[in-house]
């Protein structure tokens, strides 16, 4: 009986350790990343899509896509566009894929990649909701990689050193999600 109890407690300890490691593996990137998850108001999504101006043949990237609500809505609104949600952390990508399981279009993809190093040269539209520091890191890449005419829509935080072609105050404001800054590269 004593051996059984020891094995039982060792099994419990192993499962607790495995669970803790799994949670650290999934959650740590969210904590240490330069782009933490910020939940955008779902009522602001139509305004974001309007600012993006997606068309058939567009290649749209949502950088730091979180739960995927913007890129998912874009895929449904414009089936002729290729819509890619990108996040570095596992949990947001899993959540986005799970929430998109009922999307009827085939133009939606979620990638777990580093937005600071991935190839964006085919982008025609990009949406971000990133703090100023990550945007400053992305700006030189945007200027060197993006094709002329690529539209970047940035939520709340303007890109320092770049003048937006439009500034759109959002109708449905929360603590975050008050303004869209539209840039043409």
How much is the average pLDDT of 145-169?
Answer: 94
Q: 107-135, pLDDT tens digit by residue? A: 999 999 999 999 999 999 999 999 899 99
Residues 68, 149, single domain; the answer is: yes
3-state SS record for the chain: CHHHHHHHHHHHHHHHHHHHHHHHHHHHHHHHCCCCCCCCCHHHHHHHHHHHCCCCCCEEEEECCCCCHHHHHHHHHCCCCEEEEEECCHHHHHHHHHHCCCCCCCCEEEEECCCCCCCCCCCCEEEECCCHHHHHHHHHHHHHHCCCCCEEEEECCCCCCCCCCEEEECCCCCCCCCEEEEEEC
Query: Binning pLDDT at 50, 70 and 90, where does residue 27 land?
Result: low
pTM of this prediction? Answer: 0.81
How many structural domains compose the chain? Answer: 2
Do 127 and 160 lie in one domain? The reply is yes
55 with 134, same domain: the answer is yes
Q: Which range of residues forms the domain containing residue 27?
A: 1-32
- The mean pLDDT of 94-99, rounded to a whole number, is 89
User: pLDDT-derived band of residue 94, with 50, 70 and 90 as boundaries?
Assistant: confident
What is the model's pLDDT at position 12? 83
Report pLDDT for 156.
Answer: 87
21/87 same-domain check? no
Query: pLDDT value at position 176?
Result: 66
């Amino acid at each position: 009986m004593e051996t059984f109890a020891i094995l039982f407690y060792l099994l419990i300890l192993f499962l607790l350790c495995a669970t803790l490691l799994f949670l650290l593996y999934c959650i740590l990137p969210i904590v240490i990343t330069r782009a933490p998850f910020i939940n955008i108001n779902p009522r602001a999504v139509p305004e974001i899509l309007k600012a993006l101006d997606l068309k058939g043949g567009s290649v749209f990237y949502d950088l730091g896509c979180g739960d995927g609500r913007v890129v998912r809505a874009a895929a449904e609104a414009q089936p002729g566009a290729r819509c890619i949600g990108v996040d570095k952390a596992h949990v947001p990508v899993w959540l986005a894929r799970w929430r998109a399981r009922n999307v009827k279009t085939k133009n939606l993809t979620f990638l777990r990649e580093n937005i600071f190093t991935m190839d964006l040269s085919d982008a025609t539209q990009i949406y971000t909701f990133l703090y100023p520091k990550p945007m400053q890191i992305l700006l030189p890449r945007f200027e060197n990689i993006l094709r002329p005419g690529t539209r970047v829509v940035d939520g709340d935080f303007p890109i320092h050193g770049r003048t937006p072609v439009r500034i759109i105050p959002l109708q449905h404001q929360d603590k975050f999600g008050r303004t869209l800054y539209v840039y043409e590269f």
